[in-house]
A and B are shown apart, each in its own frame.
Chain A
Amino acid sequence: MNIFRLLGDLSHLLAIIILLLKIWNTRSCAGISGKSQILFAIVYTTRYLDLITTYISAYNTFMKIIFIATSYATVFLMYVKFKATYDHNHDTFRIEFLILPAFTLALLINHEFTLVEVLWTWSIYLESVAILPQLFLVSKTGEAESITSHYLFALGSYRGLYLLNWEYRYYAEDHYDLIAIVAGLVQTVLYCDFFYLYITKVLKGKKLQLPA
């Protein structure tokens, strides 16, 4: 565990906490893409199947359980408890266009053609594009609440910090995983436009509003 990895995980955890608190405190999930949250639930379910087969560390087990549980909790809040506030008119991204190509790619490019490994690879590919419905929703409405922007910034930073972790591990431990690295790069690049707006607008106290 190096500092980049730890900061990445904490950033990821922070993003989830921000999102849950935002929904819970405002009793509303307006501006949040349920499609992205469904994708994240699929991502964590398929990635952490090794919870039942392999023990890594208490930290690892704890975080995996938290990520799986909170992803389902978020989906529950959006589609059941606060369903009336869900922005379904704007959340129209077709997630099958992400799920199926990611799965096909996982069947073709993986480290080992076994069920668990293909599902892990699928989760990595799917995570890299899972934020697209959320970014699509923001671009459709043309704006995002500050709290939603903070959520997106923390969530985007997490894989960016993992990139630094992988660079560190490549040199320090001679360890690398090309599938994770390339997908992580794609994931981080997708946030770049948002990062720019976040730094130039939200951090200066302005609302994130896209140019008309």
Chain B
Amino acid sequence: KLDVQPKDEL
């Protein structure tokens, strides 16, 4: 799974 948005990392 590749999530473009939202980013949960910093």
Contact = CB atoms under 8 A, between A and B. Distances in A.
Secondary structure at chain B's binding surface: helix, strand, loop or mixed?
Answer: loop
Contacts of B6: 50, 54, 56
Contact of B2 (A60, A67, A176): A176
A5 B7 CA distance: 14
Contacts of B4: 111-112, 117
A111 B6 CA distance: 12
Nearest to A177: B2
Secondary structure at chain A's binding surface: helix, strand, loop or mixed?
Answer: helix
Interface of A: 5, 9, 12, 50, 54, 56-57, 60, 63-64, 67, 111-112, 116-117, 120, 162, 165, 173-178, 180
B6 to A, nearest CB: 4
B1 to A, nearest CB: 6
Contacts of B5: 50, 54, 116-117
